Structure 1
Amino acid sequence: MNAPSPTDMEMTLRTIAMPADANPAGDIFGGWVMSQMDLAAFVRANELAGGRTVTVAVHEIVFKKPVKIGDTLCVYTSIKKVGRTSITLNIEAWTRRHYEHTREKVTEAVFIMVAVDADGNPRPVAEAQQ
């Protein structure tokens, strides 16, 4: 299946799946994919919050297809909701298959990030936008 990339989301991170991140069968560990999604959530939430954010929850992570060694992993984000101190993001991970021109959605999840101050205490997101 050669699906188009999501047009209603922003590509926030792109990286290559390397052999060190794979099991003996050549499939990339789900934890590595999730960490890339977390990095993308961090980047997008920090931009919106104007400062440091931390991950407080991940909901319904769904691994739809494997990521293989050499695949380019593209992580897309969209803002679902902004609360007083929190930012909820939809995250999708897509691959561009190694030596192919196909794209496939491989993983999706909802991440909740909280804006924090220098001491790690929650702070209003609006403070960063002033």
Structure 2
Amino acid sequence: MSDRSPLIRITAMPTDLNPYGGVFGGWLMSQMALGAGSLASREGKGKAVVVSATDFAFPGAMAVGDELSVYCEILATGNTSLTIAAEALARERNGEAETKVASGTFKFVMLGDDDKPRPVRAVGGKWA
């Protein structure tokens, strides 16, 4: 694993489990969206909203007490949008073993104060 830093780190709790004792895929997706949204807001310096979520895979499972780390990277920058890949790794509660438990892609649109799409980057100190 590279020397990247997680955008989100959280421990799975009993309320995050399904009736079979596994962590809900929806909980994983929401944590990934929070991490990707943090990166989008930082990069675009403002309000970013999810407009699509695609390409999800759940190659591993995590248990209650496992620590989830979400890593994100920008795949593409449009005029008003950012496409961000998210990867979720679970670390076992009492050890160092990590398992990739989810991955997916989010598309965010930057919004201005009027809640309408605005450019990702300012031009000449102002939003174009």
Report if TM-score (shorter chain) is over 0.5: yes
Gaps of 5+ in 2: none
Task: Number of aligned residue pairs: give it.
Answer: 125
Partner of residue 119, structure 2: 124
Across the aligned residues of Structure 1 and Structure 2, the Cα RMSD in angstroms comes to: 1.7
Shift of 1:127: 2.1
Shift of 1:67: 1.9
1:65-76 correspondence to structure 2 within 5 Å: 65-76=60-71
Query: What TM-score, normalized by structure 2, do the two folds share?
Result: 0.91
Gaps of 5+ in 1: none
Partner of residue 94, structure 1: 89
SS in 1 for 2:43: helix
1-side partners of 2:123 and 2:26: how far apart? 31
Instruction: Please tell me whether residue 51 in structure 1 is matched to residue 61 in structure 2.
Output: no
Counterpart amino acid of residue 34 in structure 1: M
1:81-111 alpha-carbon deviations (Å, 9 max, x no partner): 1110000111000000111210111100111
Of 13, 28, 32, the residue aligned with 1:33 is 28
2-side partners of 1:129 and 1:42: how far apart? 25
Counterpart amino acid of residue 106 in structure 1: V
